[in-house]
Structure 1
Amino acid sequence: MSRLPFYLIVGLLIALGIGTSVHRHVQFEVPWTPGEQRQLWEIEAIVDFSALGDPVRVDLALPSHQRGYRILTENTASPGYGLSFLQDETGRRAQWSIRHAAGDQQLYYSVRMLSTDDTRTQTMPRPELRDVGWERPYDTAAAQVIERAWARSADPYTFARELIRDFSEERQGENARLLLTQFERTQLLVRLLNQAGVHAREVSGLLLEDGRRRQSLTQWLQVYEDEQSWALFNPATGGQGQPENLLLWESGDRAVLEVQGGTNSRVTFSMLSRNQPAAAAVRNQLAGDSLLNFSIHSLPLEEQALFQTILLIPIGALVVVFLRILVGVKTSGTFMPVLIALAFIQTTLLTGLIGFLMIVAMGLVIRNYLSYLNLLLVARVSAVIITVIAIISIFAVLSYRMGLNAGLTITFFPMIILAWTIERMSILWEEEGPKEVLIQGGGSLITAVLAYLAMNNPWIRHITFNFLGVQLILMALILLLGNYTGYRLLELRRFKPATED
């Protein structure tokens, strides 16, 4: 029979597992390793104005997801005001409204931004070229400034850079000084670029510095080379590129703050930086994501903790399959070691080993007595279960009385599995002798310890919980191991005499 379909299924599982894991890392920025730290910015905008006693409407531009920064949460404080979040092609805005307000007013907006490693350029619609009209003598001055910068440039970016330098103090000529007496620098540069056929707009950004208060937005020049490619320029220095600590606050070529029904309006910003574990930051980042609402991360924290343990079981199963199929270790029960390993995670390894050996040893003694009663299987196993519960209870009470709180965790052992383990070992003792009991019992204990070491590894716990595609890879590996029909490592000792001859 052809094995091609089998290997295609295995390859598909591995490809899906790797693909979904890589996509989750790249798209949602879930870290590969535990303990990574991410920088978190808490930014507060305060809007101050004086209301005139009439209806008031306040529009404030809001930031959006962009290169290097992603919004986690945002909140507002505006007692008595109605609030709406609006979004159109120009960007996001918060709109407060009230029927009557008088005197000094303060509105608050706060946002938590996560610093990310995303370096992809944000896609923004290219602004249309504006019809620029100049009055005399500014039309002549503008034409001469454009002509001079155009001759020393080769593309929109170099033209913008040369144009900005012509307005610097070192190279500022009479034409530039004349234009600056009538127009604000950034708006003037946009007008000149548009007249030269270069698409450009004025954008507002916030320079992030830890612990700064009452900061204002700075103006930047966004110049387009084509419909998709753009670059930021500092209108004061001509420097090209977006600084790492620059958060673009308004990029839709609209006013940052618009107040109707009030005067003396202004907006100031305060900011604070702190570090947060990457895993927690990603959970906050994706808490409202519609795709994630169908995943484990949308569950309450208690259920998430439960699934974090459940998702470790395939790791233990892989260890059992490897040891039984390739190594040839004999165990008492197929996956009993995995459940014992789960108990070890709760009790710690040393406490779990001592408790497991004591329970099984005392259980075998009591089970040996029950064998003389000639009970039916169901009744005998039920009696063993009750015995195991009694043994665990006695050990827990004695540990507490002796001040050994670690002994209380022995209650995490799976009682039904322990009862069946005692039953199987007792039957094996009667049929095969104590040697086989020691072989299978020791193999089960070794397998449980190795499974515990694998399942309790912080890196493995992080990967299995945050990248569900790993489960597909584990399935593929188990299928490949299940296809193995060769000799086990422990069976090779049978051929030792042949090698000696």
Structure 2
Amino acid sequence: MSRLPFYLIVGFLLIVGSAMTAHRHLQFEIPWLPGEQRQVWEVEAMIAYDADDGPVSVDFALPSHQQGFRVLTENTASSGYGLAYQADEYGRRANWTVREASGEQQLYYSVQMLVAPESQPGVQTPPKLSATTPWERPYDTAANQVIERAWSRSANNATFARELIRDINGEQQGENARLLLTQFDSTELIVRLLHQADVKARAVSGLILKDGRRRQTLSSWLQVFSQDDQQWWLFNPATGERGKPENLLLWEAGGQAVLEVEGASDSGVTFSMLTHAQPAAAAVRNHLSEDSLLNFSIHSLPLEEQALFQTILLIPIGALVVVLLRVLVGVKTSGTFMPVLIALAFIQTSLMTGLLGFLLIVAVGLVIRNYLSYLNLLLVARVSAVIITVIAIISIFSVIAYRMGLNAGLTITFFPMIILAWTIERMSILWEEEGPKEVLIQGGGSLMTAVIVYLAMNNPVVRHITFNFLGVQLILMALILLLGNYTGYRLLELRRFKPITDDEPGV
């Protein structure tokens, strides 16, 4: 029979599992290791104004996901105000409203921004060119000459914007630029000149992040749309440098007003900021819970269910260890996957407490099971009696441990009672049929396997990877299928050939 379908299935599982794992790491920035830290900026905006004893409406721009940053959480403090969030092609905004307000008012908005180098802004469609306002004389002549001078020294929109900025604000500033600056703000003037040259541009507002700063204000930046690669280029309108500084947070990136207040006067906004590090898993949790794709995964479940699945997803790791030890090494165990369940109990009890509890329960259970064998009971009745015996043993040990002040002894209730009962029954039958030596071999193999499985499943890196990268489950499935196809000698079976090597001279 051809093995091609088998290897195709294994290859498919490996490719899909690896792709899912890589996608989770690259797309959602889930770290490979549990101890990684991420930098988070906490920024608070304080909006202050004087209300005119009437209704007030405050419209404020909000930051969005962008290059280098991702929004984690946001909160507001605005007692007595109604609040609504809005989003359009220009960005996100918050709108506070109140029927009546008087005197000095303050509104607060705080946001946590995750430093995410892989983060990219969403797709933004270029705006239509606004109708150019006719220049008055002599500004029309000056504007045309400034545009012609910068255009002749440029090769594309980016270099044209750079030369125009230098002519307006740099060392190349001429008389025409100085004339125009007497009537217009420099950034507004550059945008107007770019529009006149049929170059799509807009002024945006950004916040320079510096740890521990208070009462900071936004600065103006220039975005120019490139027709070649269909993306926005960011320029410093003071120097003409292209590119986004690492510590620049674009607060308003749609070319709209940052703050609009109706029914008040003397409005303004200032910013305070702090930075700190926090575990990467916690930093990206909010992003994961909001993603539509992950709403079909365990991360969208309540925390109680997530904690349950964190343990369940470790079972394939235990199964892989059991397959390795049984297929390749040749370790004998009492029951195929009983060591996995015992290892899960060890995770709840701790290793030393679990080992001691397991040995005590099995030892006492074997003594009582030996007595039950003299009663000639049917199998179902005998196993049921062993189950009740195991429950009684666990209960007695728990009470004794509590009375002695050994709180760790109370955790032996996590042992799977049905599995323990069947283990005792199987060992007792094995004792009668094969003798105590085989019982020690299989019992010792089971206990050794359980300890190795416990060490594998209780590893923090393994727990982190199995819980956060579900594609690993497909990779484990492929490995187990490959091991299931192994038909060679087991490691412990090689000792059978030792007499042959002893008889050969010189070996």
C-alpha deviations, 1:369-426, integer Å up to 9, x for none?
Answer: 2211222222222222222222223333333333333222222211211111111101
Q: Name the residue aligned to 2:114.
A: 114
Query: Does the Cα contact within 8 Å between 2:213 and 2:272 map onto a contact in 1?
Result: yes
Q: Name the residue aligned to 1:87.
A: 87
User: Quick one: which of 273, 277, 280 aligns to 2:279?
Assistant: 277
The 5 Å alignment of 1:148-227 reads 148-168=149-169, 170-226=171-227
Shift of 1:344: 1.2
1:239 and 1:246 map into 2 onto residues whose CA distance is 14
Shift of 1:220: 0.2
Normalising by structure 2, what TM-score? 0.94
Q: Name the residue aligned to 2:450.
A: 448
Secondary structure, aligned partner of 2:35: coil
- Greater shift in the superposed pair: 392-401 or 207-216: 392-401
1:256 and 1:2 map into 2 onto residues whose CA distance is 68
Is 1:102 the counterpart of 2:102? The answer is yes
Is 1:126 the counterpart of 2:114? The answer is no
Secondary structure, aligned partner of 1:114: strand
Q: Name the residue aligned to 2:306.
A: 304
Is 1:9 the counterpart of 2:9? The answer is yes
Distance 1:120 1:100, change over 3 A: closer
Amino acid in structure 1 at the alignment position of 2:7: Y
C-alpha deviations, 1:322-346, integer Å up to 9, x for none?
Answer: 1111211110001100011111111
Amino acid in structure 1 at the alignment position of 2:147: I
Q: Name the residue aligned to 1:75.
A: 75
Query: Does the Cα contact within 8 Å between 2:69 and 2:115 map onto a contact in 1?
Result: yes
Q: Name the residue aligned to 1:485.
A: 487
Q: Name the residue aligned to 1:375.
A: 377
Shift of 1:459: 0.7
Q: Name the residue aligned to 1:391.
A: 393
Distance 1:448 1:281, change over 3 A: same
- Greater shift in the superposed pair: 460-469 or 341-350: 341-350
Query: Does the Cα contact within 8 Å between 1:21 and 1:467 map onto a contact in 2?
Result: yes
Q: Name the residue aligned to 1:265.
A: 267
Shift of 1:55: 2.9
Shift of 1:495: 2.7
Is 1:291 the counterpart of 2:293? The answer is yes
Q: Name the residue aligned to 2:477.
A: 475
Shift of 1:313: 0.5
C-alpha deviations, 1:172-205, integer Å up to 9, x for none?
Answer: 3222221111100101111122223322110111
Query: Does the Cα contact within 8 Å between 2:65 and 2:121 map onto a contact in 1?
Result: no
Amino acid in structure 2 at the alignment position of 1:443: G
Q: Name the residue aligned to 1:61.
A: 61
Shift of 1:254: 1.1
The 5 Å alignment of 1:421-440 reads 421-440=423-442
- Give ranges in structure 2 of 5+ residues lacking alignment: none
Amino acid in structure 2 at the alignment position of 1:88: D
Query: Does the Cα contact within 8 Å between 1:132 and 1:195 map onto a contact in 2?
Result: no
Secondary structure, aligned partner of 1:213: coil
1:491 and 1:25 map into 2 onto residues whose CA distance is 42
1:395 and 1:112 map into 2 onto residues whose CA distance is 50
Query: Does the Cα contact within 8 Å between 2:61 and 2:258 map onto a contact in 1?
Result: yes
Secondary structure, aligned partner of 1:99: strand
Distance 1:169 1:317, change over 3 A: closer
Query: Does the Cα contact within 8 Å between 1:35 and 1:278 map onto a contact in 2?
Result: yes
Shift of 1:67: 1.2
Q: Name the residue aligned to 1:420.
A: 422
Query: Does the Cα contact within 8 Å between 1:123 and 1:228 map onto a contact in 2?
Result: no
Shift of 1:169: 5.7
Shift of 1:275: 1.4
Secondary structure, aligned partner of 1:361: helix
Secondary structure, aligned partner of 1:163: helix
CA RMSD for the aligned pairs?
Answer: 1.8
Query: Does the Cα contact within 8 Å between 2:45 and 2:270 map onto a contact in 1?
Result: yes
C-alpha deviations, 1:455-483, integer Å up to 9, x for none?
Answer: 11111100100111111111111111112
Query: Does the Cα contact within 8 Å between 1:138 and 1:178 map onto a contact in 2?
Result: yes
2:312 and 2:289 map into 1 onto residues whose CA distance is 22
Q: Name the residue aligned to 2:322.
A: 320
- Give ranges in structure 1 of 5+ residues lacking alignment: none
Normalising by structure 1, what TM-score? 0.95
Q: Name the residue aligned to 2:142.
A: 141
| Paired-residue identity, % | 76
Query: Does the Cα contact within 8 Å between 1:124 and 1:228 map onto a contact in 2?
Result: no
Shift of 1:244: 0.8
Query: Does the Cα contact within 8 Å between 1:325 and 1:484 map onto a contact in 2?
Result: yes
Count of residue pairs brought into register by the alignment: 501
C-alpha deviations, 1:79-129, integer Å up to 9, x for none?
Answer: 333222122222211122233333222222222221112154653222333
1:119 and 1:261 map into 2 onto residues whose CA distance is 38
2:17 and 2:52 map into 1 onto residues whose CA distance is 62
Secondary structure, aligned partner of 1:212: coil
